[in-house]
Structure 1
Amino acid sequence: MAQPSRTWAVAATVLALTTAAVVWWLGGPAGPGAGDARTATTGAAAASAGAQVQPSSAPGADNRFFARRHAITTDGPADPLLVHGLRDTLEALLMEAGDASDPATLKQRLAALVNQHFPAALATRALALAERYVDYRVALGSLRAPQDLTDPRALRDALEARHKVRLQFFDDAEYDALFAREADLDRYTLARLEIERNTQLSPEQRTQALQAADNELSAERRAERSAATEHMAAAAQTAAFNASNADERTRYAARSAQYGPAAAQAMAQLDRDEQHWNQRLDQYSQARTQQGEGAGLQQLRQQLFSPEEQQRIDAALALRQLNAGTSGS
């Protein structure tokens, strides 16, 4: 009976770290190759020098990731730049800019494109924010995902580390516009994982704790979680297609009937992106097995993966091992 809880834990972990392909489809950060500057992670500090900001929390506020939702307040009129969907707009801007060999080149392209994505009155501020967003994504490459995807403590530390990187580049209002929705669901997902893994709880206590975690979410976040759950079902369908080696025509027919033609086309593109990701992951894994850790492997890592993708590599390989162990048991 351990299999269902293990499966749930893996799914929750993938959702918490926003690495699952279904998260891309839901409108999260762009997938592989979407406008990332493929640069060495060791250059993150240099790339971001002078671009970081100091968090502007209220005096005495606890700015840690798992306390932040209680520390942020909104005063004054709404900022027309810092609106819901800002992160999607920045990702679209980066995607249009395309791949670049270094952050400086990417930023030059952004300057030429920013007016196509933001009103003229906001373009200057939007460009400055986009440049810091580039530096932030480069800095993410210095983080490593936890080796054990089912360890709540490791996941908590990973989320806290990512949170600290975000605070280096964005003030409170910017952070909320870019990440607040995702962060709420991350905290909720980890809370559920910690409850499920707590062997000291009785069934009644576990039920009560899960209900309390649900109550922490706003109605809006609960609706978003419900939508994510529906798309997890779509991901399960994709896994079944992969297991049966279903061809593109079969997949499209089933998805189009269930979700509509537009969604079926989007999922077909996602299949292709995932295949490309797995091919690169295979190449990296084989190289690591053959030559071990070292400068050559690090160079290959930077060549094959964007800075944001690099933080997914260890988690993806660990998930492969976990799945292999599960199928073999």
Structure 2
Amino acid sequence: MRRLLCTAAGSVMLLTGAASAAPLSVDITAIVQHPALDAVREGVKKGLADAGMKEGTDVTFAFESAQGSPATAAQIARKFVGESPAAIVAISTPSAQAAAAATKSVPIVFSAVTDPAGAQLVKSVEKPGGNVTGVSDMLPVKDQVALIHEITPDVKRVGFIYNPGEANSVSSLKAFKEAAAASGLSVVEGPATRSADVQATVRSLVGKVDALYVPTDNTIVSAFEGAVSVANSAKLPFYAADTDTVKRGALAAVGFNYFDVGVETGQVVAKILKGEKAGEIPVVFAKGTDLQVNKTTAAKIGLTIPEAVLGRAKVVE
């Protein structure tokens, strides 16, 4: 039989005997389920398959969502650690933080984490140390601010809707404010700590801002339909960092294809399953951005998307 040993340093060793090898287990957790995070999960499987690891034969998967609750994320992390998997994949910052708090030995690969060093998941992105590494989706905020100017040049005040309890979003807010200030935009914060608060937060910004923006914030994105319905009623352009929200009603987004982010994550997991130590693998930064726009939403709010933008868009809804 082949057995998996997780050492105190977080490394993985395979002991091979005469019998056929048992598949290695990879436990996947996410703070909540929505299209972008679901795409990451499927991408992880593809990344491992591309690395020659066949599901059911070489690797098996378990998945649990925390349904937006950090306390549940911590429970899931402890449960997974008790199962001694070959690796834990933690999608989103809260889930990654919960997993990192639960173990210093089982390898952890995070995904869709904007600022892993700021979230104290790694010592540095070049040399993570410990048992944690992964893939960062650091947002292209300058491109996002430029898009706001290009589609809606008269916008002066942008409402930034986010959960201040998400480290990702706090880092994104800082970066967005810097990019906005450099281009003459002011930012009005719209905090919402629960998905149930999102619509009320959007309503509170009506009349105070000229446009809305949401980063890759899981609390807001999981309640996006309600948020965008309020924005449309108020004729407010709603921009996003999560490209999956465009088909859900966002006016436009410049961001990552999260299936591709998952594939990159799966490639990191494969390295660990093949013997590399998580803490010795540098953090990977997601590559490539997509521009997506929604002409239906534009029509609802009485806006025309410039032809130059439509011509560059990878997806037009």
TM superposition score normalised by structure 2 = 0.26
The structure with higher relative contact order (CA 8 Å, sep 6+) is 1
Higher helix residue share:
1
Higher strand residue share:
2
